Amino acid sequence: MPPIEKPKVTARLDRQLRWVAAFCSLASLGALVSHVWGVLPMVYFLTFFGVPATILLFVVAAYARWVDARVFIRAVQVGLGAGVVAVLTYDGVRLLLMKTFFTKFDSYKSHYYFGHWITGQPMDSLATALAGWTYHYWNGLVIALFYVLTFGRRHWLYAVGWAMFLEACMLGLFPMFMKVTNQLDFIVLSMSGHAAYGLVLGLIARKYALNWEDGE
C-alpha cells in the first residue's frame, strides 16, 4: 500500500486550520455566556460542546504537525505559552491591588460561581474551588490562543484592545449573577487585570508568533 501523500501547506490551509482551532477555543466563553443568559447550564455546555471542541482542537493540532504547518503550530505553542504567563499576570496584578488599595472586593469570587455551576456543590466546597479555578485558567489559556490564532504577531495594542473588549463583556455579564458590593473596586481590579493580561499577551505574540510569510 503506497504511503499517504501529505497535502502541501498553503496560506489557505493555514487559515482553515487557524479558524477551526479559533472556533474551538471559544467554547469556554460560550459556556459562560450560555449559562448567564439562561440558554444552557454551564455543565451541559461544557459536556456537549466544550469537551468535543477541546478534542477537535487536539486533532487539528495533530494534523497540523503531520503536514508540518509551521505557522499554525507556532501559533498554538505561542498562544498557550502566552496564555499561561498572561493569566498568571492577570491574577497577580489583581492580588497585589486587593492586598494594597482595593480591599473591599474579592476579585476571585466569580471563580466559585463557575465551580458551583459545574459541580453543583456548595460554594465553599473544595470541589467547587477546584472546578472554578480550573475553568478560570482554561479560559485564560484559550482566550490567549484565540488571539494568537486570529491576530498573529500584530502590534501589542491589538491584544490590549482584545483584553479591553473582554473587560467590557465582563462588566456587563458578571453583575447579572454576582452581587457587586463595591462597583469602583470591581471596575478598577478587573480593568487593571485585563490591561496587564493584554499587554503581556501582545508582547509575547509580537515577539514569537509567525505570520504566513514568515513560515513559507
Residues near 168 by Cβ (< 8 Å), separated by ≥ 6?
none
- Assess if residue 165 is contained within a domain: yes
pLDDT bucket at 130, cuts 50 / 70 / 90 = very high
Residue 131 exposed, middle or buried by CB count within 10 Å (0-12, 13-18, 19+)? buried
- Assess if residue 1 is contained within a domain: no
Between 100 and 3, the more confident residue is: 100
- Assess if residue 70 is contained within a domain: yes
pLDDT bucket at 102, cuts 50 / 70 / 90 = low
Domain range spanning residue 172? 11-215
Output the pLDDT for position 16.
93
> Mean pLDDT across the stretch 178-185?
84
Separation of alpha carbons 205 and 199, rounded Å = 10
Separation of alpha carbons 198 and 131, rounded Å = 24
> At residue 145, what are phi and psi to the nearest 5 degrees?
-60, -45
pTM of the shown model: 0.93
Lowest mean pLDDT among 3-7, 8-12, 84-88: 3-7
**pLDDT above 50: residue 180:** yes
The number of distinct structural domains making up the chain is 1
